[in-house]
Amino acid sequence: MQLLRYASTGLIALAATLYSATLLAQNVAPTAANFPWKPITLIMPYTPGSTSDHEARVYQDNIPEVFKGVTFIIDYKPGASGIIANSFIAKQVPDGHAIAYVPATIAILPSVRNDIPYDYLKDLAPVTLTTRRVFVLAVHPSFPANNLKEYIAYAKANPDKVTWSTVGAGGALHMSGEWLASAAGIKLNFIHYKGAAAAELDLIAGRIDSSPKGVVSALPQVKTGKVRAIAIITNQRSPILPDLKTVEEEGPAFAGYNYPSWVGIFTTGGTPKDIVDKLQQAFYKAIRLPRAMKVWDSQGTIPVGLTPEEYRKTLIFEEGVWRKLIKDNNIQVQ
């Protein structure tokens, strides 16, 4: 099977080479008009089987329908908060065939790390913000708080005692906790995990107090009493838990509070604008196909599909929010 997989990959690469050669022989320059002229490879910063991988599979299933049968490959390069995957994309030929699956952490990292080997707005090219999810703050049932106000009151009375799980220092889950702590005037104890699964096990077992969770994945545990949802940490209420307030609704101190639960697509910097635009349009259509919508509805995921220009503005705005938060609170990330 391994040999077959490698042989298949080799045949795909050969076909792409022959097609490109045919274009050149016919004096037809590779352009947006004939894009894509070879397989599209999505570089994933996570391991197979993760929630993010499930979303990538939706792209893999639906992009070929928009691009009339193009081969869509997923290549896994996990680690270093996405820096490994993004570094790979930054070095590829700028023709739009190598793309990156990117979480909101990309706009945070420049403020917390000085070892990033690329400029994400120059060496990479934003294509589109594809989807958003609703997240809740969940606590263990034994934790003495039924809502966010009680959570904050307990944390004020017990500084550095209340634990909050993340999936990596400097990531979106970590910074969202820092933002909440800063706005509420509390000190939280951040526990950094390598993955969400371990954090979930510890929350259910009561080894940690609180954890941000996707609303759909949290719902069965909320219904069975394994966890308690005390607030929505994204900026809109969910019809799944309609009575649960957002953090922002707690008052003026939390104005603008929003955990950035989005996923985006980037390609290599310098890729022609018309190719970037064609990629964005393909993703916009693909994430709204009926079978894709069926998946999003089951996950509580919201399809978006921002234009490259809208996405760039979102990134610049969010980077400014995180940079100010980190500077004002002297946040150090090890």
- Is the domain defined by 31-132+261-326 classed in CATH 3.40.190.150? yes
Q: What is the pLDDT of residues 107-130, one digit of tens each?
A: 999 999 989 999 999 999 999 999
Torsion (CA) 188, 194, 195, 198 in degrees, nearest 10 = -70
Q: Residue 210 pairs with which residues in a beta bridge?
A: 139, 164
5: pLDDT confidence band, cut at 50, 70 and 90?
very low
* H or E element at residue 17: helix 2-25
Q: Which CATH class is domain 135-259?
A: alpha beta
CB 192 within 8 A of CB 164: no
Tokens of 86: 């993004």
226: pLDDT confidence band, cut at 50, 70 and 90?
very high
25: pLDDT confidence band, cut at 50, 70 and 90?
very low
Same topology between domain 31-132+261-326 and domain 135-259: yes
- Domain ranges for the chain, please list them: 31-132+261-326, 135-259
Q: Quick one: pLDDT at residue 8?
A: 45
Q: Is the pTM of this model over 0.95?
A: no
Taking residues 210-218, report their average pLDDT.
93
H helix runs in 109-266, sequence order: 109-112, 148-157, 172-184, 196-205, 215-223
Q: What is the pLDDT of residues 172-181, one digit of tens each?
A: 999 999 999 9
